[in-house]
Structure formats: structure tokens, C-alpha cells
Amino acid sequence: MKKEAVTRYPINPLSKARWSPRAFAQTLPGTDTLLSLFEAARWAPSAMNEQPWRFIIGIKPAPGWHLIFDTLMAPNQIWAKEAPVLMVVCSKNHFGNDGTLNLTAAYDTGQAVAHLSIEAMNQSLYVHQMGGFFPEKAITLLEIPEGFQPLVVIAIGYYGDPESLPEPYKQREFAPRTRKEPGEIVYDSKFGQPFIQLP
């Protein structure tokens, strides 16, 4: 199933095609394919080129997959149980050179995930990010050291059968995708002054 963005202005085909499904096929992505995703993340920009992102991957049926699955909140477990790949994204809180707080660590890590998501689409893979997980559980189960913060869990896989989803997830899978209007998020000269007013 495709849920392409209905855009007001033309955008590149991968960004248009990307969305966050809940129906995943059981097919395992190949290691090289997954490495292409991490390659895209690796080449994302970051403050001072710190590259604060770290990824902990679990591929079914490895024990790592089950550990990551156990960190998810129940509503996400309902559908993420089908995802063949799960991973935890962490960011390093301090700069490596002088130990000062890196205020953009999470921002930079989000950028890396954005690059990864677009490369996933390029490989016909889908990414679904989840803030609904227990970070403390991830720290314990995955032995994440001090100074690193788990930010999200991500489900990755090829698209599956939306009919197999239980409600309310099935209904959400078919629901149209919505966005704020450009004028609500892009301002001209002053905060709140829409850059563009659409008719």
C-alpha cells in the first residue's frame, strides 16, 4: 500500500513516498541493504562533526531483537512484533574533545535518522520511529553506558499486509496523512507572520 504525500509543491520522490506504516512483512532485509541505511546516517551533518548518534540493532530472531522489543510500550508492541528489525537510537550527550554539553546532540541524531529513513525508502524499506518505549529499560537491557541517551526505537522492514492489523491500527493504516499548512510553520520576517498565504 502506498500513502504518498499529497504535496502543495513538488518534492523528491523518496520524501514523497516515505511514511510510517505499522504493517510489516516477515522478509528479512539483507545485511548490505541495512548497511546502506547506516551509511546514509553516517554521512549526515552534525555540530563539530561530532556524529553523536549510535544505533543498537536487533534482527529477528536474535536475542537483541527481543531485548529491544521488551523496551517498547504495550501499544507499540501490538504491531511492532511483526517488524523483522528493531533498533534503539542513542545520542552522546557531550562533545568528545572537551566534554562540554552538546546541546544539539538530539537534533543531530534526528537528522541522521531522517537521512536513514530516506535511504530506507530508496531500498524499498519502511521505518517507523517510536517514542513510546522505556528509556531506562533500554539502558539496562542493552547496557547503554552513561553519557548516552536512548531517544527512540525504530521498526524497519518491507511493507506487509494492512488487513492483518488489529483495530485501531488497521483504521490508522488506511487513514489519510495530514500536515500543517506551509503558512503555519514558515514565517516571513517575524515569528507568526505566514511566509505564504494559501487561498
A 10 A CB-CB count for 107 gives 13
Element (H, E) at 76: helix 74-80
Residue list 62-81, contact with ligand FMN (CB under 6 A)? 76
Which of the 8 DSSP states describes residue 38?
A: H
CB of 132 to ligand FMN, least distance (A): 3
- Selected from 86, 89, 112, 130, the binder of ligand FMN by CB under 6 A is 130
CB of 74 to ligand FMN, least distance (A): 11
Amino acid at 53: W
> Which residue in this structure is represented by grid cell 545520542?
91
Task: Give the Å distances, CA to CA, from 139 to 17, 115, 135.
Answer: 33, 25, 6
Is 159:134 a contact under the CB 8 Å cutoff?
A: no
CB of 113 to ligand FMN, least distance (A): 8
Which of the 8 DSSP states describes residue 175?
A: S
- Selected from 96, 131, 147, 168, the binder of ligand FMN by CB under 6 A is 131
Sketch the per residue contact string, 140 through 169, with ligand FMN: x for CB under 6 A, - otherwise.
Answer: ------------x-----------------
Alpha-carbon span 135 to 40, nearest angstrom:
25
- Selected from 8, 66, 81, 177, the binder of ligand FMN by CB under 6 A is 177
Q: How many residues bind ligand FMN (CB under 6 A)?
A: 9
Residues contributing to the site for ligand FMN (CB under 6 A) = 19-20, 76, 129-132, 152, 177
